[in-house]
Amino acid sequence: MTIRQARDMIARRETTVHDLTDHALKAIRTHDGAIHAFLDVYEEELTRHSVSSQFGIEGALLAGIPIAIKDNILIAGKKATAGSKMLETYEAAYDATVITKLKEAGAVFIGKTNMDEFAMGSSTENSAFGPTKNPHDPARVPGGSSGGSAAAVAAGECIAALGSDTGGSIRQPAAFCGVVGLKPTYGAVSRNGLIAMASSLDVIGPITKTVEDAEIMFNVIKGKDPLDSTTVELHNMEHGAWNKEKKLRIGVPKEYFGEGLHPEVKQAVEAALKMLHDSGFRIHDISLPHSDYALAAYYIIMPAEISANLARLDGIRYGLSKDADDLLGVYMKSRRAGFGAEVRRRIILGTYVLSAGYYDAYYTKAQQVRSLIKRDFEKAFEEVDVIVSPTTPTPAFKFGEKSNDPVEMYLSDIYTVSANLAGIPALSVPCGVSKDGLPIGIQFMGRWFEEEILFEVGKEVEKMI
């Protein structure tokens, strides 16, 4: 059931909030033992609320809709582990801004979903609490880092979910699990209450069953927040320049369809493009010449920001703490016990690129490349309205296939990181299935704050597939 269908059924008195939450809880009891999408399920609280009342605001956009939340987004009084032993017992003291907005819209929080530790990963294999499995094939990963949220939506354990996206962490698992994932424009959604990974790249966004549901969720959580200075005024996000009667121009960058792209993914994306062309969309070949440098720049900027953000987890103020003879010993023992291998790897890498003698050679150069990538998009959007690419280079891979080779794992983000570096919105929509029955996603990228255009194109793809 989609958000739209659930809302309509509640309005017609064909179902109740109790029925919706009960159905979600039954699905979790039935399927989650094998999938492990959830780290925490609010079963007793849901039962109490749904029995006592309709637990929603009459007429609100999400009244009574069961929604799952990635475990790096704070809900007051609930655990927020970020998939790490370091925060295993941490309880949030306040609601994230997106949680406040969802509550005001009447949403029901079904529980917290599994994730790669501190959102560092592309497979959810890095969770300190065990991996999540892909509902389409339990031998394969659901993607990451929002793998739990994507798997929960795909398995029918909730109607929609929130994830976070730093370099593809919403779109990649959405593609692997056959659902819709939106990375909003940087600044469109408040990051207040999100456990930070890389602050100039992080964005909260929805994972849903349909593009329309992603649009509904986005319209609830977007907007200016005084607690996040990077957010923008709402009126800046509404564009009247786009003429809905005019067929959109879709740009196809040659750099995204070259070496390393799985033939079945290429075939599915090209088939979707042909259908868009046949329905009247204008397809243009374009170039994003600095795309080849995006992944390298991302894996310098992102760990640099991680090393700064995770410095607050020192075993003193909150989180895991280990006794030692002196302060440095507390730091070292707590972090050794609390952080997993991938987190330690990125902290060390980030500290290195920020160190004296290497800052200009690596970090400054990466920021210059980031500016060039942004200019590539600015130039491309003078010619086209939307840019299309595969979401991922391959369908979902098997557990262990890439976990021993960090570079190979990092290449899973090759088509998604550019949108984060440039701050533009990007939407992943299912566009086909491999011969093994694995979902394939197509990615649409748009101008800053023009999510509505992505929704329109995404809905067209849904009609065709």
**Residue ranges of domains in the chain, CATH in brackets:** 1-465 (3.90.1300.10)
Q: If pLDDT is split at 50, 70 and 90, which confidence band does 232 have?
A: very high
Active site residue 26: no
User: Is the Cβ–Cβ distance between 150 and 207 less than 8 Å?
Assistant: yes
Under 8 Å between Cβ of 162 and 207: yes
Catalytic residue among 50, 70, 149, 334: 70
Would the pTM count as exceeding 0.85?
yes
Active site residue 169: yes
Note the pLDDT of residue 241.
46
Distance CA 149, CA 100 (A): 19
pLDDT at 369 over 80: yes
Token representation of residue 210? 């349909």
pLDDT class for 47, splitting at 50, 70, 90? Answer: low
- What's the pLDDT score for residue 55? 47
When pLDDT is averaged across residues 176-184 and rounded to a whole number, the result is 98
What pLDDT shows up at residue 418?
A: 98
How confident is the prediction for the chain on average, in pLDDT?
A: 94
Ramachandran bin of 47, using left for φ above 0, alpha for ψ from -120 to 50, beta for the remaining angles: alpha
- The arithmetic mean of pLDDT across residues 214-242, rounded, is 82
Rounded to an integer, the average pLDDT of 173-177 is 98
Beta strands in 184-260 (DSSP E): 203-208, 249-253
What percent of the chain stands above pLDDT 70? Answer: 94
Specify the pLDDT at position 140: 98
Q: Would you call 418 a catalytic residue per the annotation?
A: no
Catalytic residue among 145, 164, 291, 334: 145
**Helix ranges, 354-450 (H):** 365-380, 406-410, 417-422
Q: pLDDT at residue 237 above 70?
A: no
Name the pairing type of β-strands 249-253 and 180-183: unpaired
- Predicted pLDDT at 52: 41
108-113 vs 66-70, strand pairing mode: parallel
pLDDT interval class at 57 (50, 70, 90): low
pLDDT score at 71: 98
Confidence grade of residue 247 (pLDDT, cut at 50, 70, 90): confident
Exactly one of 123, 149, 164, 169 is catalytic; name it. Answer: 169
The per-residue pLDDT for 17 is: 87
Distance CA 344, CA 224 (A): 34
pLDDT digits (tens, 9 = 90+) for 67-108: 999 999 999 999 999 999 999 999 999 999 999 999 999 999
Across 315-341, average pLDDT? 94
Structure tokens at 291: 């795309």
Q: What's the whole-number mean pLDDT along residues 426-455?
A: 97
> Mean pLDDT over residues 314-334, rounded?
94
Q: Mean pLDDT across the stretch 391-408?
A: 93
